[in-house]
Amino acid sequence: MIRTSVDDKRSATKRSRILPAVTFVWTSAQNWSSSSIFVHLDAHTGPYMKVLLDEVFGQDNFQNEIAWYYYNKMHDSRKRLLPKAFDQILYYVKNKQSPYTYIPLQEERDVPVRQLKRVKIGGVMKNARDDQGNVIYQDKTTRTVDNVWRIRCLQPANKQEWVNYETQKPVDLIERVIDLASRPGDLVLDAFIGSGSSLVAAERKGRRWIGCDLGRFAVHVARKRLLDEVGGKPFEVLNLGKYERKYWAVATFGDDLDDDGLISLYEYVAFILKLYGATPAAGMQHLHGKVAHAFVHVGAIDSPVTIDEIVACVDECVALKAKELHVLGWEWEMGLHDPISDDAKRRGVNLVLRQIPREVMEQQAAARGDVEFFELAYLDVEIKPTRKKFEMVAKLKNFVIPNPELVPDDVRSKIKKWSDYVDYWAVDWNFSDDTFIQGWVTYRTRKNRALDLESDAHAYDVADT
């Protein structure tokens, strides 16, 4: 199985218009009773969130408010505003009465300060003195980190770290949080990973980590950063997929979507048809609706659309002398696009395969009608043997997106050949309709925009693998 990722700026552009108030949240500890949570906000939402977090975690468990002072931010002098130079990080612990993890940190002073030297004498701290009784001074070059953190913000000019993600945080900011509230081997959870800075920081600091995000662009950016960071160490990318859809369907249409769930299943199909601009059609076995002169079939929530399923729909269209069929699906059986489309065309049916976007599960997007069903992209891959016995390579031959006019003009103007649309592709050499495990991967980075179109060779143990 081969998995590809299109370098699609549409999702990134859409995300940049709706920036989250909480950009990263995580807990870190050996157990939940000693864990901590850090919530990053700005001045617009901080006061409101403080009240909410007091209610959720308890006002007594509030540890401190950290001011992240980004000294290097460029300010627009034309605006009649007091320049903004810090954000808030609200710091709570699970329970102040339990031994939560807190490790005082030291940082270098800009200029050493002269201080009295203190020593413990008889269990009491006193000023240190020399043999003549004179008070001893010392130059102090470090200071205990307080709740004002002077850490740079990221600028696009920082080519080493900047990944062109609008809400990206500097890794050293998050490393300080991890150093403060966890120890090596502890667990770090970031429920809004964005560009993946917290996962990179956790990896560098020897912590276990879990990252979550609803944005596909965020997951893709974070995955590539981690591939660069971990140096071959394994990690998993898990997609809620059908489980997320099943939860949404139960919450929206009721919990009776199985074999005897006729009413709620009808409501699901009617909902998808309405978003697609189609009307329900009764009295047919496989065809659910009609839009203009085409019949429409809606794929199941928790399983891929199969070749056999599409063949049954085409059979019904042929019997009805229908000339066009639209099949809507969440997931698709591998390798169905060309063979099934060609077979339908030979039988006089124009087959259109369209993806049901996850935006249908977002109530506001569905209510606004802000949902688009895109045709499936076409991928041409050649699997060819090498000169060695039982050894194969995978080669990308072509990749076509059906609606290039929907790609923003500034992106489309940079596309010179079909491979420019591909940002990442991976091969699972032993895929068996379950979890995708990449055995080989290639991807573009900001430093290296080249992309391999042919994989490394993979050797099988036996011929029928």
Q: Which two tokens stand for residue 435?
A: 């979890």
Please provide the size of the chain in residues: 465
DSSP 277-328: T-EE--S-SS--EEETTEEEEE--SSSPBPHHHHHHHHHHHHHHT--EEEEE
Whole-angstrom distance, CA of residue 434 vs CA of residue 455: 22
SS3 label, residue 219: helix
| Confidence label for 81 from pLDDT (cuts 50, 70 and 90) | confident
pLDDT tens for 266-288 read 888 999 999 999 999 988 999 99
Whole-angstrom distance, CA of residue 405 vs CA of residue 417: 15
The phi and psi torsions of 76 (rounded to 5 degrees) equal -90, 105
| Confidence label for 406 from pLDDT (cuts 50, 70 and 90) | confident
pLDDT tens for 297-315 read 999 988 889 999 999 999 9
pLDDT tens for 163-216 read 888 889 999 999 999 999 999 989 999 988 999 999 999 999 999 999 998 888
**Sheet containing 391-400: which strands, arranged edge to edge?**
378-385, 391-400, 458-459
The pLDDT, as a whole number, for residue 303 is: 83
Superfamily of domain 2-105+145-238: Vaccinia Virus protein VP39 (3.40.50.150)
Average pLDDT value for the chain: 84
Looking at the chain, the domain(s) classified CATH 3.40.1350 span: 242-368
Whole-angstrom distance, CA of residue 11 vs CA of residue 364: 17
- Which residue bears the tokens 């290097």? 72
| Helix (H) / strand (E) containing 199 | helix 197-204
| Helix (H) / strand (E) containing 350 | strand 350-355
Looking at the chain, the domain(s) classified CATH 3.40.50.150 span: 2-105+145-238
| Confidence label for 16 from pLDDT (cuts 50, 70 and 90) | very low
Q: Quote the Cα angle for 423-432-338, to 5°.
A: 60
DSSP 152-167: PPP-TT-TTT--S-TT
| Helix (H) / strand (E) containing 87 | strand 86-93
Amino acid in the structure at residue 449: R
| Helix (H) / strand (E) containing 298 | strand 294-298
According to CATH, the topology of domain 242-368 is Trna Endonuclease; Chain: A, domain 1 (3.40.1350)
Whole-angstrom distance, CA of residue 41 vs CA of residue 59: 18
The pLDDT, as a whole number, for residue 255 is: 65
